[in-house]
Structure 1
Amino acid sequence: MKKILAVLLLLAFHTGQAQIPLFSTTLELKRGTDYHQSLAATDTAYSQFAVFISDKESLKALRLNGALFFKDSLTTTRPVKDYDFMAGYSFTNGKPGVYWASADLKKLQGLYFDFENSTVGRANFEMPYAEDEEILTTFSEYNSFYILTLPAKKDELKCYIFNKGTYTIKTIDFSGFAFTNEKSKKTTLNALISYYSLQKIEAHGFTDLATSSQKIKLYALKDSFLLTLDHNPGYTQIFTINNEDYTITQKIYTHSVLTESADANSFYIEGKLYQLKLNNEEIALTATTLSNTADSKNYHATAEETIGFKNSPLLSQTGNDSPDEFRDTKKFLRRAGSSGIAISVYRTPDDLLVTAGGVRTILPAGDVILGAGLVLAGGSSDMFGDGHELQTNYFESLFDDAFNHRPYVLPTLAIDNIGRYTGGNKNLTLQTVTPFKGSYILGFYDTKARRYLLRKFDDEFAY
């Protein structure tokens, strides 16, 4: 009886700790849910948190301090219909701004909230893109809003940086560097990005394997950007772009050499590059400090061996179905080897969680029975096409900072608890999930209670 009571108390403790209410306010949103939007923003300089919520007529800004206590709010009119969505945010001296954009990002309107004086300023921007300039991605990092583009037929990127009520344009010139394709033949950065696309990685949050499977990734760091290329299975090509003068340095980090040809990918976090390479017969996992390659550490297993550095079973998950377990390493490598190789690394409270494997898209079972058994694996940016289901083949591992394997029970992550909290509840809309000071902040609108709420979720410790 005492053991049962202890288990119940432990479950109650974990349930209570899984989420912490932060803020709740009554909010009446005008009808027309197509106009309802929300955007969460974090201020790294002044340690504060903001949320923007709109309906068809108005835009409301909420501000919380670094301890996530509510400070104040401001309401203004929503931009006219020419502006379709909130594309990003910036902060200037603690004052948040939000950028509304047209669908093609050619027109933007910045709204700047001065809580101390209860005023909202506005600025309109007509973007000077060239006719054949391709928009790659938009993101908000370190209190600025960025639009990154690819000019046609040039080995350069253009960066439009919004803050302080205006924007600047920076050109990142790669023409002085050499590029080869997956077959080691000469090519250009423009050709590579046009084929593989470019994936912006969230530096402070969990990255799923579908996202990390992309071959070209961009990481925004405090004083630089990292552009990593893994299209050639022989090496990871890394460009460090100084975000003061936009000068570029390049380094090459070779992948492990396996007996047979193999696919590879990498993931960057906290000054280290984690590389995964595998085929049907072997798998290799390597960690290297970018500033000191001599400390590189490698794990390896063959199809005939048990993967001794894993903490989870070898799993395969299709869509939202429950994962199935592979019976042995050989079956796992055969499936993962025919997928787009992917690795993701995430900082938990006391460990590094590595998720490794591959992702591919498959036709639903009914279509396969009808004879359309197509499988698509890694490559161009359209690998996750319509009408297909995503299949992830993976395992999870825990390591310390020196990349020593830690054979502990895997922790429950904040994102897992968020999924359980929101799953199946149709009353919760306008959901945002934002990393903030090591926690995740879930924002949502409860349509039944007509309230907007914020709740905090934390990762658990491994044991």
Structure 2
Amino acid sequence: MKRYIILLSLLLIYFLSSAQEKVFELEGGFLKFQSKKESYALPNQLTGDLMLLLEEGRQFHAHLLDSNYASISKITTKTIPSKYRYILGYNVDGNMYSIFFSDSWNTRFGAQTFNFETKTATNTFLDFKIKGEKYVESVVYNNKIHLITITKKSSDLNIYTFDKQFTPTKNIISLKELEYPKAGSRNNTINAYDLLLSDTGGMTRSVIDIEKIEGSNPNVIETTSKENKLYQFNNQLIFSFDYSNKKTQLSFIDLETFEALIKSYDKPSETEEGYRKSNSYIFDNKLFQIASSNQKMKFTVLDLRIEEIIKEYKVTKEDTIRFKNSPIIQEGGGILPGFSENRVREMEKTSKYLRKISSSDLGISVYKVDNEYNIVLGGTKEITTGNGYSAMNGFGGSFVVGSTIGSSTGALISFNPTFYNYSSYTTTKSTYINCLFDNNFDHIQGDIKKNGYDRLFEFEDNLNIKTKAVNIFLHKDRLHYGFFDPKKRIYELYSFKE
């Protein structure tokens, strides 16, 4: 038995060591004992270099690493004034990295530039206003930030691209094709501005509601169940709208030409009656759609290149779900399927599964591991948030990344959706199944394989230390995990293999 336990331990150690690689460590990165500590990462999309930003109290320690994680230069400076609380994105020009910030109302904007050639940092407070517009999101493409707004009470989407002098170029993109008549009104229409607004529970609807999706990572149902989603695939932005139970509306925007194309795709509920909820998800040039009621569920796979449905699956409440590779799982308060320690139970009846997901926010999530598609089908209910917004582990310092404070409109996961999706603290109750499919979307038997987030969880569990300044991000198509070890006084950065 002892030999067996030792062998298992050795196998576990081998697996963990082969799943990740320590790529960088820094002694003395943090100097103070009691101050709050945070870390951020700014990948250079063109060269593979990486800027690590360590925040300690009111100071920034910036480190520039080359594509092999070797240190090039470092800068220590004061943080930008605290009224600029939201990190929106960044620009890179050679060895100059400029981080864009805004206040909590997105009315004032600033940039902090780190020049690693001269080892200096400067603050620039921008004379930039978004009058008559609302902030929607920000994306970084080709090492430049693109700030997206919507003109109030219209369907004009505005994209501001900033050059190295922080001068914006504005491109206006019409989403008028999304408009449709308002029920019970002859003259009024629902426009893109209306579609992007969230019902905050008050007298007015004034908060932009859109979920930024990082398609390179697994995404939880709590994220993918949103009606409005924004995807970025290289130079292409895709806005998806699932307000209609009959159709998914997609707006394709090219960040090189700023031309837009709007497409509409029928949902299963368009051709067949009896579905109560519906939603969609985009992955690998495919549009995955789901529709359900307490009587039945259907999900379809549409190839966006040929615009044809290539596979569909349907189940009724009397059926056994033969395309699932896990039990029907219900969990509350968990972060990812299979990792909630409490309130996890399994169901047997399809009828109960259908009833649960159809009374929830319906969602579908898709991820690929070892050339197999792992598709999660389910629904989620928000139980309570207490303070009105979702917090993120590791972002307790001076700056807020991707959260909304009070009733103000904040940067919605602009800077690091990878970390947000991994460590969201939203309290939810989810019901779902895991399914496996081959490249033709034929169902295959087998266990669900571990993905990158699974390995991160195992890595965290085996650290056995109280980490600080944790940061999780994508760089060179790999997940990275950085943290400060307060016992060894070392900041460590790991890269995880697929």
Relative to the length of structure 2, the TM-score reads 0.79
The alpha-carbon deviation at position 85 of structure 1 amounts to: 4.5
The alpha-carbon deviation at position 282 of structure 1 amounts to: 1.3
CA deviation vs aligned residue, 1:62-81 (integer Å, no higher than 9, x gap) = 22333444444333332234
Equivalent in the alignment of 2:226: 214
Structure 1 57/188 Cα, relative in aligned 2: closer, same or farther at 3 Å? closer
8 A Cα contact 2:353 2:431, kept in partner: yes
* Structure 2: 5+ residue stretches without partners: 200-208, 335-341, 386-408, 410-424
Instruction: Select the residue among 211, 229, 235 that pairs with 1:199.
Output: 211
Structure 1 396/86 Cα, relative in aligned 2: closer, same or farther at 3 Å? same
Single out whichever of 152-161 and 209-218 deviates more from structure 2. 152-161
Equivalent in the alignment of 1:402: 440
Question: Within 5 A, what are the aligned runs for 1:351-366?
Answer: 351-362=372-383
Equivalent in the alignment of 1:138: 138
The AA in structure 2 aligned to 1:315 is I
The alpha-carbon deviation at position 298 of structure 1 amounts to: 0.8
* Structure 1: 5+ residue stretches without partners: 365-380, 382-386
Equivalent in the alignment of 1:336: 357
> 3-state DSSP class of the match of 2:279?
strand
8 A Cα contact 1:123 1:165, kept in partner: no
1:243 and 2:252 equivalent? no
Equivalent in the alignment of 1:92: 93
Question: Within 5 A, what are the aligned runs for 1:272-351?
Answer: 272-294=286-308, 296-320=310-334, 321-351=342-372
The alpha-carbon deviation at position 83 of structure 1 amounts to: 2.9
CA deviation vs aligned residue, 1:138-192 (integer Å, no higher than 9, x gap) = 3434422233223221112222333423132222222354336799995222212
The AA in structure 2 aligned to 1:169 is K
CA deviation vs aligned residue, 1:303-362 (integer Å, no higher than 9, x gap) = 121222222211111014252111121111111110011111123243222111111123
Equivalent in the alignment of 1:54: 55
The alpha-carbon deviation at position 221 of structure 1 amounts to: 2.1
Number of residue-to-residue matches in the alignment: 436
The alpha-carbon deviation at position 241 of structure 1 amounts to: 1.3
Single out whichever of 169-178 and 307-316 deviates more from structure 2. 169-178
Structure 1 177/357 Cα, relative in aligned 2: closer, same or farther at 3 Å? closer
1:416 and 2:491 equivalent? no
2:95 & 2:376 partners in 1: Cα distance? 37
The alpha-carbon deviation at position 110 of structure 1 amounts to: 2.2
The AA in structure 1 aligned to 2:443 is H
* More RCO (CA 8 Å, sep 6+): 2
RMSD of the TM alignment (CA)?
Answer: 3.0
The alpha-carbon deviation at position 411 of structure 1 amounts to: 1.4
Relative to the length of structure 1, the TM-score reads 0.84
Residue identity over aligned pairs, in percent, reads 23
Equivalent in the alignment of 1:376: none
The AA in structure 1 aligned to 2:80 is P
CA deviation vs aligned residue, 1:224-243 (integer Å, no higher than 9, x gap) = 21111111111111111122
The AA in structure 2 aligned to 1:106 is T
8 A Cα contact 1:276 1:283, kept in partner: yes
The alpha-carbon deviation at position 215 of structure 1 amounts to: 0.5
2:370 & 2:183 partners in 1: Cα distance? 37
> 3-state DSSP class of the match of 2:198?
helix
> 3-state DSSP class of the match of 2:268?
coil
Equivalent in the alignment of 2:489: 450
The AA in structure 1 aligned to 2:451 is L
Equivalent in the alignment of 1:390: 428
The AA in structure 1 aligned to 2:444 is R
1:183 & 1:405 partners in 2: Cα distance? 45
The alpha-carbon deviation at position 268 of structure 1 amounts to: 0.8
8 A Cα contact 1:181 1:231, kept in partner: no
2:189 & 2:58 partners in 1: Cα distance? 53
Equivalent in the alignment of 1:169: 170
8 A Cα contact 2:275 2:291, kept in partner: no
The alpha-carbon deviation at position 264 of structure 1 amounts to: 0.8
8 A Cα contact 2:23 2:494, kept in partner: yes
